[in-house]
Structure 1
Amino acid sequence: MSDRITTPFSAQSTAAEVIAAIDLAGRRAVVTGGASGIGVETARALAGAGAEVTLAVRNVEAGERTAADIIDSTGNKQVLIAPLDLADQASVAAFVAGWDGPLHILVNNAGVMASPLLRTVQGWEMQFATNHLGHFALATGLHRALAEAAGARVVSVSSSAHHRSPVVFDDIHFERRPYDPWSAYGQSKTANVLFAVEATTRWADDGITVNALMPGGIRTNLQRYISDEELDRLRAAAGGADLRWKTPEQGAATSILVATSPLLDGISGRYFEDCNEAEVGKLGARSGVAEYALDPDAAARLWQVSVETLTR
């Protein structure tokens, strides 16, 4: 992409550094999975810049502890907690119904990674149901609130694991093909990018921008299904020493860039990593965005399939 976006920030930048000169007073933000991993530091940076931040979390007690910590560290008392289980469509609908007024920033951050085969009550594969369908229902449910904000931003946290699989439309939920935890995760992360592509088309007239990103490798509770031996094997297969862990503060930096930076005003439908736009089709162990993840036809198809799935 000849007009690839670059910034003064890098893989080493922290969320606090990216947001240092930005004032979010009067803005309202939602961070899913805001009580663990990079979600905590994403929420902390937004609160530190003056935003009202709602932590949308499965574990309300953990959310309350996190909110208290963020309030203590930032002095911003506008840190709220709301229950949200992305794998439960009734929970998503309840969150949407409970939201009132404009929403300026939605960070679709929560996720499940490389889990054993689990299914929702509808029979949907759990990683796709949580990482994509839950966030899709949340974002589309909050569309009016985002439009009301005039200039809202939606952040879709993807992963370089999207390199592992496109969305396999013929059998999204592994009803016929053998289940592979990493293929399922990769498919869901591709879906996160495709969502940004199609939402850009559909929501441009509402002033809503939507971008996807890879936060980097961060050791968090996201990897609870992955043993240290498996992580070592993956690191060795992908080049070993080149795969460095980021701190949670560094891992949240690209999310914060996409959510807040004036450098991205009007930019939408793209995929970022290490605080810069990724190169298309030039794939490294943790770098680059696959062409199929930005395919507008696949994005339009996924949107339609998602709507149909959720309305059955």
Structure 2
Amino acid sequence: MSELITTGFGFETTALEVVEGVDLTGRRAVVTGGASGIGVETVRALATAGAQVTIAARDVDAGQRVASSLITATGNKKISVARLDLASQDSVKAFARNWDGPLHLLINNAGVMATPLTRTPEGWELQFATNHLGHFTLTLGLFNSLRAEGARVVNVSSSAHLMGEVVFDDIHYEHREYERWQAYGQSKTANILFGVEAGKRWASEGITMNALMPGSIATNLQRHLTQEELQERIRLSGAATTRRMKTPEQGAATTLVLATSPLLEGLSGRYFENCNEALPNTGGVISGVAAYAQDPESAAQLWKVSEETLAL
């Protein structure tokens, strides 16, 4: 592996600090889940830098409220909203079909976390279906727009990928007991592996894809947890001590590094945390990147399995 990328930014950095001096005029961006949590701050920073931003959200009304607020706050009138439900393949395909022209930045930010066992109409486990398969379909559906001018795809993963690799023999929990954190971790590992294989397949197309851990942030992502469960997760993760909680503004910073930093030019398959490329995970700590999340063979297998699953 080549030398790790360091940026000069860190834990405390906000998304707006990352884009200070960055000019995205004429660049078009899509942010999935841009109507809540760190998605809002991602949209704010991109718009502040002059990008034309589309908020892709399940709740269009909520998206419109956020767009109106950010237009006022940033002075950038080129913020729009389009419906996208990542758990619905029909919705994802419709979004991609309706997109017209080039796309320079695709921020695969939306996700669900620690849901009770839920299946999509296809029978897929909801977290994997939403967090990986939905974004896989979306990204491939936008491929021609992404390669038009060379684009960056940013996948919002999580340190939860350390909870488990993709279990290819039973991705959708048809034969093993469902464990919601393991299922979440599997989907977040997939977010990283996606970029590893995309880097191989798309290098000649000028498209790059990298992943990140935003940090421990209180957002709507935790809506499926009781307060007691949330506090327990914070305790287990070490966020209360070694990994402090971040604000949404800080949580969106690493996304903006991957979207805008010249240091990422032409690079794929990397994983960042606290605005810098992560070290390999050494076990016993909730930081760094697991070797299995950047394994080329697993990345190739995930791509193949994803294509076969979606063909069904």
Q: TM-score range by the shorter chain?
A: over 0.9
Q: How does 1:157-236 map to 2 (within 5 A)?
A: 157-236=156-235
Structure 2 SS opposite 1:63:
helix
Note the 1:148-159 alignment, pairs <5 A: 148-150=148-150, 152-159=151-158
By how many angstroms is 1:263 displaced?
2.1
Matched residue type, 1:61: D
CA deviations over 1:224-257 (Å, ceiling 9, x no partner): 0112211222233344422311000000000000
Query: Aligned ranges for residues 1-312 of structure 1 at < 5 Å?
Result: 1=1, 3-150=3-150, 152-239=151-238, 240-283=240-283, 285-312=285-312
The amino acid that maps onto 2:66 is: T
Query: Given the superposition, is the C-alpha separation of residues 96 and 224 from structure 1 closer, same or farther in structure 2, using an over 3 Å criterion?
Result: same
State the secondary structure of the residue aligned to 2:175: coil
Structure 1 letter corresponding to 2:154: V
Deviation per CA, 1:27-55: give whole Å up to 9, x if none: 00000000000000001100000000000
User: Aligned partners of 2:68, 2:260: CA distance in 1, in Å?
Assistant: 23
Q: Which runs of 5+ in 1 are unaligned?
A: none
- For normalisation by structure 1, the TM-score amounts to 0.98
Corresponding letter in the other structure for 1:66? V
- 1: distance between equivalents of 2:227 and 2:113? 14
1:216–1:286 CA contact under 8 A, matched in 2? no
Asked if the contact 2:199/2:267 (under 8 Å) is kept, the reply is no
Q: Match for 1:45: what amino acid?
A: A
Separation in structure 2 between the aligned mates of residue 286 and residue 51 of structure 1, nearest angstrom: 34
Percent identity of paired positions between Structure 1 and Structure 2: 63
Deviation at 1:282, TM superposition (A): 2.7
Instruction: Name the aligned partner's letter for residue 78 of structure 2.
Output: Q
Question: Do the aligned residues in 1 keep the contact of 2:222 with 2:230 (CA within 8 Å)?
Answer: no
Change (3 A) 1:284 1:259: farther
Residue 6 of structure 2 aligns to which amino acid in structure 1? T
Q: Which TM-score applies when normalising by structure 2?
A: 0.98
Residues in 2 aligned to 1:276 and 1:204: alpha-carbon distance in whole angstroms: 22
CA distance, structure 2, for counterparts of residue 73 and residue 309 of structure 1: 42
8 A Cα contact 1:283 1:289, kept in partner: no
What is the CA distance between 1:156 and its match in structure 2? Answer: 0.6
Amino acid at match of 2:31: V
Q: Using a 3 Å threshold, how does the CA distance of structure 1 residues 277 and 65 change in structure 2: closer, same or farther?
A: same
Q: What displacement does 1:283 show? A: 4.6
CA distance in 2: counterparts of 1:262 and 1:255, whole angstroms: 14
Q: Look up the equivalent residue of 2:287 and give its one-letter code.
A: S
SS at structure 2 position matched to 1:242: coil
What code does the residue aligned with 2:126 have?
M
Q: What is the CA distance between 1:261 and its match in structure 2?
A: 1.2
CA distance in 2, matches of 1:281, 1:244: 19
Mapped partners of 1:306, 1:31: distance in 2: 22
Structure-1 separation of matches of 2:13 and 2:235: 26
> Is the 2:160–2:184 Cα contact (8 Å) retained in structure 1?
yes
Deviations 1:98-122 (A, max 9, x none): 0011000000000000000000000
**Paired AA for residue 135 in structure 1:** H
Q: Match of 2:24, SS?
A: coil
Residues 165-212 of structure 1, C-alpha deviation per residue, up to 9 Å, x if partnerless? 100000000001000010000000000000010011111001111000
